């Protein structure tokens, strides 16, 4: 099964009802790294307006969203960065945020050769029904467990071009 078919099936197997239009609109974000199955993110955006954003994310087993933060934005930095709540719907997701390391060794596998770009090690394990809110401008990254994961995200407005990634080679918006 090809990559896009696997992701579509992951969404379908989640138990969440999707329209055909939503399934056709999946954003397969490879961050310009060309390692989609290792460092990538697959999203269905329900709504993203000037007040709030809601989306679903599907990750294959071990797939990782690279470390990044959502800084203040706007001409005079008058807009606070994105605050987002991740709610695990299926599988397991390991979320890493700024803060004191809370485990001797993290459960995730940092993508080979990319260790310098994954700097935060405060581990939060999310299982189905569990959630965590990431405050604005907080460095974070996340990785699906061995079964993959479906994550709902509820947030303030999402502005992908303003995200700052630790890896300078990442391009969130396709050029």
pLDDT higher than 80, residue 96? yes
> Residue 175 has what pLDDT?
54
Q: How far is the CA of 71 from the CAs of 8, 14, 127, 147, 166, in angstroms?
A: 31, 31, 27, 32, 13
Across the range 144-158, mean pLDDT stands at 97
pLDDT higher than 70, residue 48? yes
> Residue 172 has what pLDDT?
78
Question: What is the gyration radius of the CA atoms in the chain, in angstroms?
Answer: 15
Query: Residue ranges per domain, the chain?
Result: 3-165
CA atoms within 13 A on the CB side of 48: 12
CA atoms within 13 A on the CB side of 45: 14
pTM for this prediction: 0.96
Say which CATH topology domain 3-165 has.
Jelly Rolls (2.60.120)
Find the largest Cα–Cα distance for the chain: 47
pLDDT digits (tens, 9 = 90+) for 64-90: 999 999 999 999 999 999 999 999 999
pLDDT higher than 70, residue 174? no
Across the range 150-163, mean pLDDT stands at 96
Distance in angstroms (rounded) separating the CA atoms of residues 48 and 54: 7
> Residue 19 has what pLDDT?
98
With contact defined as beta carbons under 8 Å apart, do 40 and 30 qualify? Answer: yes
């Amino acid at each position: 099964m090809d990559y896009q078919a696997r992701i579509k099936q992951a969404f379908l197997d989640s138990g969440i009802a999707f329209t055909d239009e939503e399934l056709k609109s999946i954003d397969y974000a490879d961050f310009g790294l060309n390692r989609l199955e290792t460092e990538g993110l697959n999203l269905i955006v329900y709504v993203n307006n000037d007040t709030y954003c809601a989306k679903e994310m599907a990750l294959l087993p071990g797939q990782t969203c690279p470390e990044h933060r959502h800084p203040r934005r706007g001409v005079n930095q008058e807009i606070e960065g994105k605050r987002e709540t991740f709610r695990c719907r299926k599988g397991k997701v390991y979320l890493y945020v700024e803060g004191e390391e809370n485990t001797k060794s993290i459960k995730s596998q940092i993508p080979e050769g990319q260790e310098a770009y994954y700097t935060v090690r405060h581990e939060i394990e999310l299982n189905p029904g569990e959630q965590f809110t990431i405050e604005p401008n907080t460095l974070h990254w996340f990785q699906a467990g061995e079964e993959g994961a479906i994550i709902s995200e509820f947030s303030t407005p999402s502005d992908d071009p303003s995200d700052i990634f630790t890896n300078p080679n990442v391009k969130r918006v396709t050029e």
